[in-house]
A and B are shown apart, each in its own frame.
Chain A
């Protein structure tokens, strides 16, 4: 499709190119990646998913700024509190600035328990870019500016309610987004490196090496993956710090995530290992790692990227599942799975359904990665010809 007849492009003539010809010129001279990007851009759902994911990732990266409170800050005045949605109007009239009601403590008339009730006579206004709790942005830039907060420094805004210890669900979910997405990234990265080495070795050398590696891959593929992860996670010593556990989890997820990608790399390498340019490189004395990396991999990079994107959901879901049952990350680390641990029983979901909000994030993230993966797959296919 890249051959162009002279008539198409009006070569050698002094006449300016028509709009149609300009378009064609741009199309035929575009690089592979530009073409993929053009095709991907037309995939509307994938673009929306990508935008959502970028927003989510930004929230995670700048969690200290986006979240009004720290992940473990408590508001003992508002335990198991329901979400406070800022509004502009109420019975006492409207205001240009959004507000929420202040909270007063009362006794439950039946159980005599102390409960928090919103007080309709007390308005607290919501403001953007307001000073609040001191934190370190990205872990090293000290700041106390938050995206939003309450004008009254004594009152607290709990957009998505609080848990049984009075911790802000919104803030915790934002911090959890950072943990869960970064675990996904690290896990995918580790399994990618392993897949390159293992799949590369099997595909490049073939023969007996390939047979042995195929056997081992088969063994890992046949064992149910979550129970396998659980076995490795269970072995983490109880006295490990949260950082150690975090890195151990990325390792565990990465160490067994490679078989699918390794198979892809292997089969692609096997199919091109006897091409002339590969043989030429070999005869010129290039090392196997150079031949694979410089000459063979570039021919199917786009497929690898698609496979990497598609393997994200599995990492995220595995982490969530493991943490959910208490075998993955442990509090005080917050991840989506750790947060959902609190929402394990029906009673909790019935009384404090807002604890279920992190689940929505899981679903959105997984959906977004899947849709983007599909979009990329379509865009990367060189035979899907449409100008």
Chain B
């Protein structure tokens, strides 16, 4: 197990190193560089006449005149050695300060979404496989098509509309207005909890559709195995039998795709966040892109990818623990 863990850790480090190169290249893509935008942002409308020499001075000051490779190592070195993600010029402070507590909100949304996904898809998927051709089974098929076809930002809009129409409630955002700027307290935490269900539901939408299919398919395969028939012949009670044999195995593909689910959730997060008015990383990422605040954007993209890679790692470990065959196969 130790060897297995170490191997996965090294793999994770290599992937992240390559990802960081890609993220850095994306940060460098927009025309003009940070110094141009910084000068424009700072002096436009102030009447100060900015010359090319001034911009060059800013460039030298920030180390932007160095070749690409050096700038990459400055950037990644700052992150790895000092936890310094650079400057967010739209906010005139460090990226770390801007991102800071939004990381926790994003993690909150992520884990509540994952919770909803598995709480719904595993039991219903198992049920649909046991009762083939039942209402639940057909409902599942229809739903899994809808889960793909109805993009969740549209779902979010529809839900907002009906909540507004029927309950006259403003259900968007992450906090009620009275808690928005308040310090963290139990009341604020409870308020957050009350607002989390909607983004969790919306984001879980397509993940549930996908996982339902997976669980149902594996469960259907497993349920016809001889071991199940043998257990049934021994007189093992039906529910216990389902949990002990097929359900245990039906969970494996779900565990092995946790990383994919996290990926899908983060992929959809920025757009859902805009519609629902969630003030977390996804929304900030979109805003940073629109402002071309590339240090913020790069940091968020890197962080989101890191979370995905990390969840992949966790899922590998969980899977090795659940299914010993995998561990043996690699070493």
Q: Which A residues are within 8 Å of any B CB, using their own CB?
A: 215-216, 218-228, 230-235, 237, 313, 317, 320-321, 324-327, 340, 343-344, 346, 349-350, 356, 359, 362-363, 366-367, 370-371
Contacts and interface: CB of A to CB of B under 8 A. Distances in A.
B285 A362 contact: no
B286 A371 contact: no
Contacts of A225: 263, 267
Contacts of B266: 224, 227
Interface in B228-245: none
A73 B154 CA distance: 27
A231 B18 contact: no
B104 to A, nearest CB: 19
B145 interface: yes
Contacts of A356: 157
Nearest to A235: B29
Residue in A343, A349, A371 with the greatest tally of chain B CB atoms within 10 Å: A349
Given A232-B29, A366-B148, A226 B267 contact: yes
Contact of B151 (A230, A362, A371): A362
Interface string B145-174: 100111101100100110011000000000
B301 A223 contact: yes
B30 interface: yes
A313 B149 contact: yes
A371 B286 CA distance: 32
B31 A359 contact: no
A331 to B, nearest CB: 16
9 pairs of A and B residues whose beta carbons are closest in the complex: A235-B29, A234-B289, A224-B266, A224-B267, A367-B149, A231-B26, A366-B149, A235-B30, A226-B267
A325 B268 CA distance: 12
A173 to B, nearest CB: 15
B22 A230 contact: no
B270 interface: yes
A325 B151 CA distance: 13
B14 A224 contact: no
Interface of B: 14-15, 18-19, 22-23, 26-27, 29-31, 145, 148-151, 153-154, 157, 160-161, 164-165, 259, 263-264, 266-271, 274-275, 282, 285-286, 289-290, 292, 297, 300-301, 304-305, 308-309, 312
A343 B157 contact: yes
Contact of B145 (A221, A324, A343, A371): A371
Most chain B CB atoms below 10 A, which of A223, A349, A371: A223
A321 B305 contact: no
Given A223-B301, A224-B308, A235-B30, 4 more contacts: A223-B305, A227-B301, A230-B289, A231-B26
B256 to A, nearest CB: 14
Nearest to B206: A317
14 contacts: A219-B19, A223-B23, A224-B263, A224-B269, A224-B305, A225-B267, A226-B270, A227-B301, A231-B297, A235-B26, A237-B31, A321-B268, A324-B153, A325-B274
Contacts of B148: 313, 366-367, 370
A327 B289 contact: yes
Contacts of B309: 222
A230 B157 contact: no
Nearest to A239: B31
A321 B151 CA distance: 8
A218 B164 CA distance: 43
Nearest to A367: B149
Contacts of A340: 154
A89 to B, nearest CB: 31
Contacts of A216: 18
